[in-house]
DNA sequence: TTCATCAAGGAAAACGTATTCTGGATTTTC
DNA sequence: GAAAATCCAGAATACGTTTTCCTTGATGAA
């Protein structure tokens, strides 16, 4: 309707310039059909000369695929879903797939709205992700779906999650290997699945080297600082603290320093998440667990591509974490 | 090709069920054309019954619009572009527009790749954003473009930026209004446009109340701490520090507290960015400048929609910031 | 010479929707 | 009661590709 100046060249323009039919032009540009090499070349030159870019709307309609996948996230702040998104986009864009972003802001109405929109766009697949590790209700669409970070409650769905148990175990293992035998665990709310899992892993791995019960509080520096006060009152002899997040660990380090306890000489501290702004700014920098979320995003995208291609791999896949050692356990 | 089970109903199915032609069905569902209300209703019921969702690929082809806009960002980390993205998505999704995400990772090759992809998708418009406030080279596409945060170097393009000058001025103004007359400014690298602008604003606003020259360093807590040492050595009498970022301000607060100076009683401190993880975790919490990036994203999207609709508003539009006052200047 | 084979490329249909055009039926007007 | 206006809905076409099918001419074999 609104004439956008001289509209972009269509394949018929290319065909006309090359002196062939549109079907021949299509075959030439897509390397299909039976054509003389000289003809192909002529068409290619014509396309080049006109600056022809195929209209993917036409292609989508014709091929039955939209070469688009939707990403639904509940995590506006993006602390976790951003890296996942970037990883997914990395993989997808290599396959000429576009990623459309939908942030539900945890509103079921918005989620419904976005689902309708994605279905109406006939996206080839959908990635669902969130900011919590709690399993979530599956979405109901006639399109392949992969859940990332927050798995689906339906085990028949495809979910990719972080191996939180292994991650927490690796920090405690690390502390044990350094000879620490009086280890405390300070983490987030007991109502959070991730805090639960990490605490359970710490308990299981430390065994008799764990001092007291895991301490649950907020995911904040303030709680880290406060927990240190409580902890040292009842257990002044601890030699390590395994924390459920980098924020907590940073608070722990700050408070220990203020109390004159040296980290890591007196007490080693580990964080969790490898959130660089916390882990690196902490004094000292934190030994922590990297969730490898970009890799998780890439794996998610690959699983989705497989499902789109017709060979889904259902089930829950837990990806390994990576222990990053820094001064908070190793000294300088 | 791959039969995705019973494929989704098309408008012809709806038409058949309602006993009308496809054109009538289309008109009924879009509230266009001349139809008896009873006919419309019958078609609507048929669509409802079949769970019909119009295929936007067909619609895109037919209407000449794709109802999609691309977002190109160079800012993988997302500290600035995420809120902008969310704001834009907010506005766009209300208009049934989808947002496809392209992270160039500052690689010109990737940028080219994404531009080709967006043009081939015939997106209705493009938003370009980055992590620095430096003007950037415009992109060359036959599609409406709006630049957000990083303006285009071409003044004829549409750019939406933050009023950094006003923001920095507002913190100094605030300090002056509290009676502070010996104000220092600690900020980021002199090579950064934003540091330059903020420093210039501080100088201009503070006038003779500015102590020494603006101090340039990294955007880090470490630099904030170090700068305090340097500053107090030469100017022990200061009563306020205006910082170029929340990270720097947090470092400043930490060091001042370690040196026994009270914030804000002895020395008031202001940050910049209202990055909650820094501004709220700081002791004390920071008075700072909120960039209102979500609003910037919304404005950007609206300008883009205007441009798509054929009435662009060229030029550079600077959006006001918002001063957020907390304990670092007001006490408890 | 005749028939089968094959290479090369064109014609036509398909994808799903929106829109313009057209024609029949009904109502209005004189 | 005939002509004009109005209402309603279907037919046809367009959007830009891809793909299937078909035609043509050439080549080879019998």
Q: What is the CATH number of the domain that holds A277?
A: 3.40.50.2300
The mean pLDDT value for B113-128 works out to 96
A116: preceding bond cis by omega (within 30 degrees): no
pLDDT for the residue B2: 34
The whole-number pLDDT of residue A75 equals: 81
Q: Is residue A261 located within the same domain as residue A200?
A: yes
Confidence class of residue B6 from pLDDT cuts 50, 70 and 90?
A: low
CA-nearest of A9, A5, A39 to A24 is A39
Mean pLDDT of chain B: 94
Nearest to A61 among B1, B61, B117 (CB): B61
Please indicate, yes or no, whether residues B101 and B207 belong to a single structural domain of this protein. no
Instruction: Judge whether residue A12 contacts strand C, using its CB and a 7 Å cut-off.
Output: no
Closest nucleotide (CA of B59 to C1')?
A: C17
Kindly state whether residue A88 falls inside one of the protein's structural domains: yes
Are residues A100 and A168 part of one domain?
no
- Whether residue B92 contacts residue B122, with contact meaning beta carbons closer than 8 Å, is answered with no
Please give the tally of structural domains in chain B.
3
Handedness of CA B56, B62, B67, B73 (dihedral sign): positive
Please give the pLDDT value at position B4: 41
Q: Do B61 and A56 touch (CB under 8 A)?
A: no
Pick among A110, A121, A255 to test the B interface (most B CBs inside 10 A): A121
Share above pLDDT 90 across residues of chain B, in percent, rounded to a whole number: 93
Residues B157 and B172 in one domain: no
| Residue A285 and residue A178 in one domain | yes
Is the model's pLDDT at B183 over the cut of 80? yes
- A200 to chain B nearest CA, in Å? 28
Distances (CA, A) of A241 to A183, A194, A213, A233, B306: 6, 18, 12, 15, 56
- Report yes or no: B119 at the A interface, CB cutoff 8 Å: yes
Strand C positions with any atom < 7 Å from protein CB?
7-21
- Distance in Å, alpha carbon of B215 to nearest chain A alpha carbon: 21
Q: Shortest CA–C1' contact from B36: which nucleotide?
A: D8
Which residues are bridge partners to A317 per DSSP? A160
B299 and B271 fall within a common domain: no
Please report where in the chains the tokens 């750019």 appear, as a residue. B159
**Angle in degrees, 0-180, between the axes of helices B11-18 and B37-50, rounded to the nearest 10:** 120
B85 falls within a domain: yes
What is the biggest distance separating any 2 CA atoms in chain B, rounded to whole angstroms? 88
pLDDT (tens digit, 0 to 9) for every residue of chain A, 332 residues total? 333 445 799 999 999 999 999 999 999 999 998 999 999 999 999 999 999 999 999 999 999 999 999 999 998 777 898 999 999 999 999 989 999 999 999 999 999 999 999 999 999 999 999 999 999 999 999 999 999 999 999 999 999 999 999 999 999 999 999 999 999 999 999 999 999 999 999 999 999 999 999 999 999 999 999 999 999 999 999 999 999 999 999 999 999 999 999 999 999 999 999 999 999 999 999 999 999 999 999 999 999 999 999 999 999 999 999 999 999 999 77
Q: Mutate which of B10, B56, B57, B131 to disrupt the A interface (most A C-beta within 10 Å)?
A: B57
H or E element in which residue A305 lies? helix A293-308
Distance separating alpha carbons of residues A213 and A221, to the nearest angstrom: 20
Q: Which residues pair with B240 in a beta bridge?
A: B183, B268
Do residues A173 and A280 share a domain? yes
**Given this model, what pLDDT does residue B332 score?**
72
A73 and A47 belong to one structural domain: no
Helix (H, G, I), strand (E, B) or coil at B58: helix
Altogether, the residues listed in chain A come to a count of 332
Residue A330 lies in a domain: no
How far apart CA B85 and CA B101 sit, in angstroms, is 9
Provide the pLDDT for residue B1.
33
Instruction: Give a yes or no: residue B208 inside a domain.
Output: yes
Rounded distance between C-alpha atoms, residue A91 and residue A71, angstroms: 13
Sequence length of chain B is 332
- What lies within 8 Å, CB to CB, of A305 at 6+ separation is A91, A92, A95, A97, A125
What DSSP state is assigned to residue B139? P
Q: Provide the shortest C-alpha distance from residue B152 to chain A (in Å).
A: 22
User: Has residue B63 been placed in a domain?
Assistant: no
- Measure the CA–CA gap between A153 and B323, rounded to whole angstroms: 44
What is the rounded distance in angstroms from the CA atom of residue B240 to the CA atom of residue B242?
7
Strand-pair partners of B273? B290
Residue A26 located in a structural domain = yes
CB A318 within 8 A of CB A149: no
Q: Does nucleic acid strand C have an atom less than 7 angstroms from the CB of B55?
A: yes
Query: Residue holding tokens 């580990």?
Result: A270
Q: Does A256 share its domain with A311? A: no
- A190 and A146 co-located in one domain: no
Give the pLDDT of residue A6.
Answer: 58
Q: Does residue A60 form part of some domain?
A: no
Q: Which residues contact A82 (CB under 8 A, 6 or more apart)?
A: B78, B82
Set of chain B residues whose Cβ sits within 8 Å of the Cβ of A142:
4-5, 8
Chain A interface test: which of B121, B226, B249, B310 (most A C-beta within 10 Å): B121
pLDDT at A331: 76
Residues A27 and A111 in one domain: no
Assess if residue B330 is contained within a domain: no
Do A125 and A207 sit in the same domain of this protein? no
3-state secondary structure of A11: helix
Domain carrying residue A47: 11-54
Residues of chain B in contact with residue A113, where contact means CB-CB under 8 angstroms, are 93
């Amino acid at each position: 309707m609104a004439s956008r100046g001289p509209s972009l060249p269509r394949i018929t323009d290319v065909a006309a310039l090359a002196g062939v039919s549109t079907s021949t032009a299509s075959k030439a540009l897509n390397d299909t059909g039976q054509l003389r090499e000289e003809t192909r070349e002529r068409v290619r030159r014509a396309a080049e000369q006109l600056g022809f870019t195929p209209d993917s709307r036409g292609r989508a309609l014709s091929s039955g695929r939209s070469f688009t996948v939707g990403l639904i996230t509940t995590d506006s702040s993006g602390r976790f879903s951003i890296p996942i998104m970037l990883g997914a986009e990395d993989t997808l864009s290599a396959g000429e797939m576009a990623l459309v972003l939908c942030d539900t802001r945890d509103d079921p109405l918005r989620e419904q709205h976005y689902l309708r929109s994605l279905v109406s766009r006939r996206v080839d697949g959908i990635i669902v992700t969130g900011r919590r590790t709690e399993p979530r209700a599956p979405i109901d669409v006639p399109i392949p779906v992969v859940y990332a970070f927050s798995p689906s409650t339906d085990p028949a769905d495809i979910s990719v999650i972080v191996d939180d148990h292994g991650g927490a175990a690796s920090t405690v293992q690390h502390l044990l290997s350094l000879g620490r035998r009086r280890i405390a665990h300070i983490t987030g709310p007991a109502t959070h699945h991730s805090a639960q899992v990490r605490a359970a892993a710490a308990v299981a791995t430390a065994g008799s080297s764990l001092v007291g019960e895991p301490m649950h509080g907020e995911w904040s520096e303030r709680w880290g600082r406060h927990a240190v006060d409580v902890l040292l009152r009842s257990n002044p002899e601890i030699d390590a603290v395994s924390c459920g997040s980098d924020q907590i660990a940073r608070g722990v380090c700050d408070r220990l320093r203020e109390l004159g306890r040296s980290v890591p000489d007196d007490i080693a501290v580990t964080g969790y998440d490898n959130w660089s702004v916390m882990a690196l700014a902490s004094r000292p920098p934190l030994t922590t667990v990297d969730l490898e979320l970009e890799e998780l995003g890439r794996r998610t995208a690959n699983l989705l591509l497989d499902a789109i291609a017709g060979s889904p791999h259902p089930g829950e896949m837990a990806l390994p974490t990576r222990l990053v050692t820094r001064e908070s356990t190793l000294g300088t």
